[in-house]
Chain A
Amino acid sequence: MTATAVDIKEFIPAIQAMQASGARFVTASGVDHGDSFEIIYSFDIGDSVLDSIRLVVPKGEHVPSVSGIFPYAFMIENELQDCFGIDFTGLPINAGRHLLLEQSAMELPLVKPEGGVDPTFTRRVAPCRDACPAGIDVPGYVRLIAEGKEAEALARVLEQNPLPAICGRVCFAPCETACRQNLDSTPVAIRFLKRYISDTVGIENYPTPKPMESTGKKVAIVGAGPAGLTAAYYLRWWGHDVTIFEREAVAGGMMRTGIPDYRLPPKVLDAEVKRITDMGVELKLNAEIKCADDLFSQGFDAVFAGTGADKNKSLRCEGEELDGVLNCISFLKDANLGKDTGIGNKVAVVGGGNSAIDAARVAVREGAADVHILYRRTRKEMPATEAEIVTAEEEGITISYLVAPVKVTKGNNNQLAIELVKMELGEPDSSGRRRPVVIEGSEYVEEFDNVITAIGQDSSVPENFGIPMHPKWGSVLADEEGITERDGVFSGGDVVRGPSSVIESIRDGKHAATSIDHFLGFDHHPPSEALDKSAFVYRSSSKEREQAGDTRVPIPEVEAENRKHDFTEVELQYTRDQAIKEASRCWRCDWNE
């Protein structure tokens, strides 16, 4: 099947030769080559055998019409005129570029756009990026990992999140829940890939911005948790003088004292904190701030309160004050700071959230052989992530559902006797979960060495701190940009939201930093969270996605039997091939299909 190429001078004679040999003109196909058009005239030379004449013209040149030779060619030439903008000379019936009803066609359908990029209406914010509270460009960095560019991927993450090594370990990953592959298979391991790039590049090699010229303004940050650290990072970058005041002897907030070491090794956390302090942020430990006015009198121009939510909620049952009844927050803090927790062998953890799971798994590692989690609803209603519940069960923790403590008394052998009652699920409450209802007469007593209460936390602000508070919930009143009603005092993170997550606190810290900067009279912004519609997106082919496969490359973990004896990190690391394979699974939803 040949297609003879002719130039413009040989063109008409070639067409005439075709007609003379009795061929029938079939059609003319136009192809856009960027700087020229190619028109292929196809003929039926008998018995439905096709032959073609190929004409290449630079854009802007006129093409002679063949309608004098084949009268009905005017239709296709009119269409080429409309679709490609080719000018024909000698068209007997010329619709004047109105053959195609213009009202129906939105754009010239067959001419390629000038750049190599897709029209902007096809770019959209992918669900994963939409779900990330901090607005990290998730498809962007996953794509860079799939191309093998770890450093660039990390730089992309660092634009919006200064703590990637931490989030890669502990984030609850709303991006993965929103991933479209979550619907029928496993979502892309976005969080674990973030950990992969931060570990591969190495915290000491992160590109860290050089602080801008000093503005002479001083900002005090109360609390070295994720919100405070993030606010410090951005404010220092923009040239302000930043001091962080932390009540504990270690920085990190709940990341350090609440999250167990086998999920977040202290070394990693300290390294990321050091990166921020190396920018010139002053970190004062063991420095509790009781009142914001103290800071203003010390000369600070603005205050950010990120004191978190570490007041353990009370079980409100009799006997809670007895020895051996431990508070989840202080239990975890003691364990994380290496202090003796005094835990016995048989432990009950009351609660169903991630803190309860953490407390149970830490109890196992602290030597308790018989750990129970007591939850008053069923597994479906447990707020802890499913993966965490499964890991807890793998480590031998028993989970009892539909049971709640009534009172705690002293038992035999220095143990505690807990009276428990069975529950059943009744009508849904305001959160939509079915309310547990006591089954009368089903009380029973069980003895434990320790009871850990882990039913939730409340925001923690020193009394008379000088910041607008919610009348009932004890949290700080601040808007989405961290602005409170008191001028100069900003807030964000758990202390405003109640117990939430690291990534949400990071987002709050970033937005509060912007508000503080504007309050101080400047106009800095973090790198934009908006979609860059002009960026070129290469969409992986279905063959590549087929090779990448349907299910996630499993995250390598230490086995349950081996891991429950110490606090070494449970999750291991992807190899480079595994990471690229996993990142190739991404469907690149930011490129609209």
Chain B
Amino acid sequence: MAKIVVPFGPQHPVLPEPVHLTLVMEDDVVQQAVPAIGYCHRGIERLSERKDFQQVPFIVERICGICNFMHAMAYCQSVEKISDTVVPPRAEYLRVIWAELNRIRSHLLWLGLLADAIGFESVFMQFWKIREKFIDLIEVTTGARIILSTNIVGGVRRDITPELLKRIDDDLREVRPDLESLGNVLLKDYSIKQRAIGKGVLSHDDAHKLGAVGPTARGSGINTDNRVRGYAAYDELAFEPIIETAGDSYARTLVRYRETLQAMDLIHEAIAKIPDGEISAHIGKWPEGESFELVEQPRGEVFYYVKGNGTINIERLKVRTPTFNNIPPLLHMLEGCRMEDVPIITLSIDPCISCTER
């Protein structure tokens, strides 16, 4: 039959993220997907060159609302490497705690959105209700619900008191049974299994060839997680990446759900092990030289390239976010899928377009 071209996005009722895909369809089956990005482009990399390097964490946070903490963390870690700054241990643990809280918040958002995309709105609401508990913890410790603004070059801006640490511990324990039972509902549900198993399959080889990162890659059996490298305080915490091998949307859902529980375990461990001490260090010198950094965000690996030239402005900031790398796998996954599966598959790579377009 004839081919029709369907523009999908950037604004679309069922699409949570403003990515623009032009779908070439034949008979309700997608033949090819052509991407176009730039809807949310704000010129953040260029703006960062004009601001003082200590103001930049607050700019790069705004690349993405959901993964914001780890953007600032990646930037700060890059600059610390080229400015003779040693982050105190307590600050590293604090960064881990907030990073994992951020990860939980992001994954719960995604799990809710998955349910919503399928039409299972009550599960969507329940996931977001549990998510509020974590947002409350973030708000109580940093003052903000979404964009934490807590990272600075040299450490963090705020401390978490022992009482608050205990509260985080207790709240996580309190909410865990709810989360587990809700996860059960989501994963064992017949409709969700019908819409997610076998859809958007990305084989191990394809994932490797196409450069997938994050849960998208781990759902296809690739053992890659930047936290293994041991930045911040991850080297002192027991951590193993969660791998699934099926490579379809269901596998990716499993990965994210289990990562949420694993993140809670990591927080418990970090709270138990956190040392006392300073929360930030003096900056050794203005950044000079090049620095490359990889940090594991909820959606995958983010790459930061910072070049300093000894002045107060950094010369070049380059950010490559995980969704940018996950778009080629997405295009591959979409080939041959049916029209009604397009939103779910797009969602299954956990797109974050404001990240992609900076």
Contact = CB atoms under 8 A, between A and B. Distances in A.
Interface of A: 1, 3, 24-27, 29-31, 40, 42, 44, 47-50, 52, 70-76, 95, 98-102, 104-105, 109-110, 541-543
Interface in B311-358: 311-313, 315-316, 318, 320, 324-325, 327-329, 357
A52 B229 CA distance: 18
A1 B78 CA distance: 12
Nearest to A118: B50
Given A27-B303, A31-B316, A71-B210, A47 B325 contact: no
B38 A541 contact: no
B211 A101 contact: no
B229 A100 contact: no
Contacts of B36: 95, 98-101
Contact of B39 (A29, A101, A110): A101
Given A1-B291, A3-B290, A76-B320, A109 B43 contact: yes
Given A24-B208, A100-B37, A543-B52, 9 more contacts: A31-B316, A48-B294, A72-B325, A75-B325, A101-B41, A105-B43, A541-B52, A542-B54, A542-B312
Given A26-B303, A50-B294, A104 B52 contact: no
Nearest to A67: B328
A72 B328 contact: yes
A153 B36 CA distance: 52
A24 B210 CA distance: 10
Nearest to A101: B38
Contact of A50 (B211, B292, B325): B292
B38 A105 contact: yes
A541 B312 contact: yes
Contacts of B313: 541
B35 interface: yes
A109 B38 CA distance: 11
A231 B136 CA distance: 68
Contacts of B224: 24, 48
A48 B235 CA distance: 13
A15 B10 CA distance: 35
B258 to A, nearest CB: 21
Contact of B38 (A3, A25, A52, A104): A104
B303 A541 contact: no
A446 to B, nearest CB: 59
B183 to A, nearest CB: 28
A27 B210 CA distance: 12
Q: Which of B224, B313, B325 has the most CB of A within 10 A?
A: B325
Nearest to A51: B292
Contacts of A95: 34-36
B228 interface: yes
Contacts of A42: 292, 303, 305
Chain A CB count within 10 A is highest, among B209, B210, B292, for: B292
Given A42-B305, A48-B228, A71 B37 contact: no
18 contacts: A29-B305, A29-B318, A42-B303, A42-B305, A44-B294, A47-B228, A48-B224, A48-B226, A48-B229, A73-B211, A99-B37, A101-B36, A101-B38, A104-B41, A105-B41, A109-B43, A541-B52, A543-B52
Contacts of B20: 101
Given A25-B211, A48-B228, A101 B305 contact: no
A74 B328 contact: yes
A562 B210 CA distance: 83
Given A71-B210, A75-B327, A543-B312, A1 B38 contact: no
B157 interface: no
B45 interface: yes
A102 B320 contact: no
A144 to B, nearest CB: 22
B38 A102 contact: yes
Contacts of A74: 328
A71 B210 CA distance: 6
B38 A75 contact: no
Size band of the interface chain B makes with A: 35 or more
B46 A110 contact: yes
A70 B212 CA distance: 12
Nearest to B43: A109
A542 B45 CA distance: 20
A118 to B, nearest CB: 9
B105 interface: no
Nearest to B226: A48
A26 B295 CA distance: 12
B307 A1 contact: no
Interface string B218-229: 000000101011
A40 B41 contact: no
A95 B328 CA distance: 13
B305 A40 contact: yes
B316 A99 contact: no
A99 B38 contact: yes
Contacts of B329: 72
A100 B10 CA distance: 12
Given A99-B35, A99-B36, A24 B211 contact: yes
B307 A31 contact: yes
Contacts of B328: 71-72, 74-75
B79 to A, nearest CB: 14
Given A101-B38, A110-B46, A542 B52 contact: yes
A30 B318 contact: yes
Contacts of B45: 109-110
A105 B20 CA distance: 15
B34 to A, nearest CB: 8
Contacts of B39: 101, 104
B37 A101 contact: yes
A71 B312 contact: no
A104 B20 CA distance: 13
Given A75-B327, A543-B312, A109 B294 contact: no
Contacts of A27: 303, 318, 320, 324-325
Interface in B184-219: 208-211
A50 B34 CA distance: 30
A73 B10 CA distance: 23
Contacts of B228: 47-48
A31 B49 CA distance: 12
The 10 closest A-B pairs by CB, nearest first: A27-B320, A100-B38, A29-B318, A72-B328, A101-B38, A72-B211, A48-B229, A541-B312, A109-B43, A29-B305
Interface string B133-153: 000000000000000000000
Q: Which of A26, A49, A100, A542 has the most CB of B within 10 A?
A: A26
A557 B311 CA distance: 38
Contacts of A48: 224, 226, 228-229, 294, 301
A26 to B, nearest CB: 5
Name the residue in B35, B39, B291, B328 with the highest tally of chain A Cβ atoms < 10 Å from its Cβ: B328
Contacts of A543: 52, 312
| B39, B313, B318 interface centre (most CB from chain A within 10 Å) | B318
A52 B292 contact: yes
A25 B210 CA distance: 10
Interface string B284-297: 00000011111000
Contacts of A30: 318
